[in-house]
Structure 1
Amino acid sequence: MGLDLRQLRYFVAVAEERHFGRAASRLAMTQPPLSQQIMALEETLGAALFARTRRSVELTPVGRDLLPEVRRLLTLADSLPALAQSLARGEAGELSLAFVSTADYGLLPQLMRAFTERYPGVRLQLVESTSDIQVEELIAGRIDAGLMIPPVPPRYAGQLSYLPLMREPLIVAMSDDTARQLGGEVPLAALADLPLVVFPRRLAPAFYDIIMDCYARAGLTPRIGQEAIQMQTIVSLVSAGMGVALVPRSLCNLRRTGVVYRPLRDAEPLVETGLLWRSDDVSPVLGGFVEVARGWQPPDDRVPAPLLI
């Protein structure tokens, strides 16, 4: 079935005027071609739309029920050029973004706020994912971009683009009881005998290695207590007294009863989070997101209030 939008517009005009002559004048055409086009539409649809007499034109039950649907269809058709232009400018469409759990408490909400303020018409699909999975999903074309902890696997260096966004120090997450024993700034040596709650290396190798290197530079070997694949779970285990954890400073925004955050007295190791996307597949929406990310400024270095607990 090949519907003609012009014929649908003719149908609406006749339905509203209830008169072929007046509808023809409104459409700046003569009556015979208008009648022919309406009959052609009825033949295409396989149903009569008008009951005609010498003095009147009335909608049939089919025509009456079809009229609001045709109006909606024409409204949608009229909106297509504007939608196409918005899509071309990156002002409409969809963006699929993956993120590591560490980004959920600082970088992600701040970046999303900046993007949605500039592009309110874009639909966002967010999914939490580890850095290694993000790389696989990007290569497969199942996501548009990811907030991940580097490094990018060398074998994909030519296919993926990476933009560093934020570097933040690690701090200590500990229970109330441990915090009372250790006081303010915590030397790493004071944690040596305490169980360490950490991501499994197979899921977050870069983040795991940063923590292990931190201990190694201090001449210490951590005692791994528990492993968890989400930052919320790690903090919950700390709250339950299962050990301590080294977490990015933005985790101070994750308030959990029984958990206290303290800075390290030793040189603070830095964790970097950046944006990753396919170099050869930059849609207008993704281009707008990358532009916002390039202009985004990380927060200042003031110590967050939760550290003072």
Structure 2
Amino acid sequence: MNIELRQLRYFVAVAEEMHFGRAAAKLHMTQPPLSQTIQALEAALGTPLFLRSTRHIALTPAGQALLPEAQRLVLQALALPQLVQRAAAGASGHLSLAFVSIADYSVLPPYLREFRASHADVQIELREATSDVQLEALEKGQIDAGLLIPPLPDRLHAVLNYQKVLSEPLILAVPEALGARKKADMLASYKDLPLIIFPRKIAPALHDVILGRFRDEGLTPLIGQEAIQMQTIVGLVSAGMGIALVPQSVSNLKRPGVLYHALKPATATQNGSVEIGIAWRKDNASPVLQAFLKLLRN
């Protein structure tokens, strides 16, 4: 069976007008080819669609059953150009985005709000994951982009693009019970407390920056716990398990029993900040991804 969209469009016009002459005028054509097209459609379907007399026409039961479906198909076909154009412009489609936990307290919420405001028809799939997991997913093409902590492994430089999004200083998170008795701007005041930190293989840059702050002050911290989620680290601080150096935006995570203190500024020889950036495959030409990257650049 070979039914053309044109045949359905002609059928809908006749069914809505209930008159071949008026339907032909509506379609900007003459009546004979319209009648021939309807007859060809009936032949293809194997049943009459109209009851015809010299004075009027009416839909057969088969015609009544076909009309709503034909109307739906015609309307869908009319919407196809806009659908395709919106997808080509990145206004609709799908975006798979992974993020490290610290991005949830800084760049992720405002960027998502702005992107959703201008791309309401884009389906966004979010996945919280550590940087190493994101890099593996990017390499396999399982996600479109990842908000992660650099650096990228050398082997992935030919595969991935990277763009810096945010750099922020470290602050000190301490148990509230100790906050009033210590000098908040000196790590030496807390040298006797265990340090809660990310495992180095999960976030080597963040791990090294944290230990670098201690080293530059002549301190060797006692690592008491390792955790891969920022909320877990802050939770352990709340429980009195130790202290932590966290990105400044983590202070947005209000947890009872935790105080956040600014550290003295890093010196010229120190790297006292944590960077978050976005990585994506160089061969990913998704218009939706390009629209999201444009938002970040702006």
1:288 aligns with 291
- The answer to whether the 8 Å contact 1:187/1:266 transfers is no
Gap change, CA 1:136 and 1:48, over 3 Å in 2: farther
Measure, in 1, the Cα distance between the counterparts of 2:61 and 2:241. Answer: 72
Gap change, CA 1:69 and 1:260, over 3 Å in 2: farther
TM-score with structure 2 setting the length: 0.89
1:35 aligns with 35
1:225 aligns with 224
SS of 2:180's equivalent in the other structure is helix
Measure, in 2, the Cα distance between the counterparts of 1:45 and 1:239. Answer: 73
- The answer to whether the 8 Å contact 1:197/1:226 transfers is yes
1:246 aligns with 245
C-alpha displacement of 1:192: 2.0
Equivalences for residues 119-158 of structure 1 within 5 A: 119-158=119-158
SS of 1:162's equivalent in the other structure is strand
1:90-113 deviation line (CA, Å, top 9, x unaligned): 222222211111111111112223
C-alpha displacement of 1:196: 2.0
Write the letter of the residue equivalent to 1:85.
Q
Write the letter of the residue equivalent to 1:106.
S
Measure, in 2, the Cα distance between the counterparts of 1:142 and 1:62. Answer: 47
Write the letter of the residue equivalent to 1:132.
D
Gap change, CA 1:241 and 1:65, over 3 Å in 2: farther
Gap change, CA 1:47 and 1:139, over 3 Å in 2: farther
2:204 aligns with 205
2:13 aligns with 13
Equivalences for residues 43-192 of structure 1 within 5 A: 43-46=43-46, 48-183=48-183, 185-192=184-191
C-alpha displacement of 1:118: 4.1
1:21-78 deviation line (CA, Å, top 9, x unaligned): 3322322333332233223323444554333344432223343243233222222211
Gap change, CA 1:9 and 1:131, over 3 Å in 2: same
Say whether 1:275 aligns with 2:274: no
1:140-178 deviation line (CA, Å, top 9, x unaligned): 222111111100111111221111121101111122102
- The answer to whether the 8 Å contact 2:191/2:221 transfers is yes
TM-score with structure 1 setting the length: 0.86
Aligned residue pairs total 294
Q: Unmatched 5+ residue regions in structure 2?
A: none
SS of 2:181's equivalent in the other structure is helix
Gap change, CA 1:64 and 1:147, over 3 Å in 2: same
Write the letter of the residue equivalent to 1:142.
Q
Measure, in 1, the Cα distance between the counterparts of 2:236 and 2:46. Answer: 68
C-alpha displacement of 1:287: 1.8
SS of 2:125's equivalent in the other structure is strand
Worse overlay, 221-230 or 92-101? 221-230
SS of 1:181's equivalent in the other structure is coil
1:262 aligns with 261
C-alpha displacement of 1:231: 1.3
Gap change, CA 1:40 and 1:233, over 3 Å in 2: farther
C-alpha displacement of 1:269: 1.4
Measure, in 2, the Cα distance between the counterparts of 1:66 and 1:235. Answer: 63
Q: Unmatched 5+ residue regions in structure 1?
A: 296-309
